[in-house]
Amino acid sequence: MIVHKLISNLLLQMESRNLESFSVIPWAQPVLSFGSIAQSKMATLGLNPSNREFVDQYGNELTGGARRFHTLSSLDIQSWSEADPRHKKSLFDACENYFNGNPYDNWFRALERIFSGSSLSYYGMFAEVCHLDIVPFATFEKWGELGPSKRSGLIAATGNTLGNILRHSNIEVLILNGQSVIEALQEASGTHLNRKNVPGWSLPRKNSGGVKGFSYKGKISQVGGVCLKRDVNVLGFNHNIQSSFGVTSKVKSGITTWITKNTREVLC
């Protein structure tokens, strides 16, 4: 399967140490997906896995029932070069079964409400939505704190992973949550999405006219130099649902209505 080959390639990258300068957590597994790629018709897209998928609020590695993904210590190996087929299957299974374990619900439940009108879900045995990231490696620093050169370096080094995942999947729609994700995908795909100002999505601010809301819509046919052999529909919004300050329930409702309309046109 392509995912097993991708995991092997990503482990080779980690072992070569060429990612250390980009603040990649060296002992944390690469995350191909959150949920089943094979079952999914739709995927939400982020930047890279949060460090909170591997550590608690104090920076301690998650263990036992709190664990979400594997690490060198959970696999009882000293380096990724020691990973054998059994270990690699464990890495794959952790991705495939993410929502059946201890998912980061505070983040994913909020995002699922945005596409709830599609009648698809991250959760359940027959879930048809997964979450993907442009960069499959968790970093010590948050994406916005990495700096432009590190962000571009990570996208350049790993952007073909997302391309290969999409090429070998049945995913028809990507949902982009926030301006940073939109800009990163445009960079990785060489595509400029159609941007439209949506007055009803503006965020109020006391000392200004507010933060404008924009929808993004388009199609991509390649990512990271990988030809997808088809067009994948892309829907995005500039407000990050979980972290943009002052995203009101009215704005969230408006985004949900727009996502519902557009996903139904593609998937129905």
> Cα dist. 139→31, 37, 144, 155, 163 in Å?
12, 23, 11, 13, 21
Q: Are strands 42-46 and 129-133 parallel, antiparallel or unpaired?
A: parallel
Q: What is the pLDDT along the chain (268 residues), one digit of tens a residue?
A: 688 899 999 999 888 767 888 899 999 999 999 999 999 999 999 999 999 999 999 999 999 999 999 999 999 999 999 999 999 999 999 999 999 999 999 899 999 999 999 999 999 988 999 999 999 999 998 888 888 888 888 888 887 999 999 999 999 999 999 999 999 999 899 999 999 999 999 988 777 778 899 999 999 999 999 999 999 999 999 999 887 677 889 999 999 999 999 999 998 7
Predicted TM-score (pTM) of this structure? 0.94
CA atoms within 13 A on the CB side of 208: 7
User: Tokens representing 47?
Assistant: 């930047």
Maximum C-alpha span of the chain: 58
Residues contacting 82, CB < 8 A, separation 6+: none
Report all structural domains of the chain as residue ranges with CATH numbers, in order of start: 2-267 (3.40.470.10)
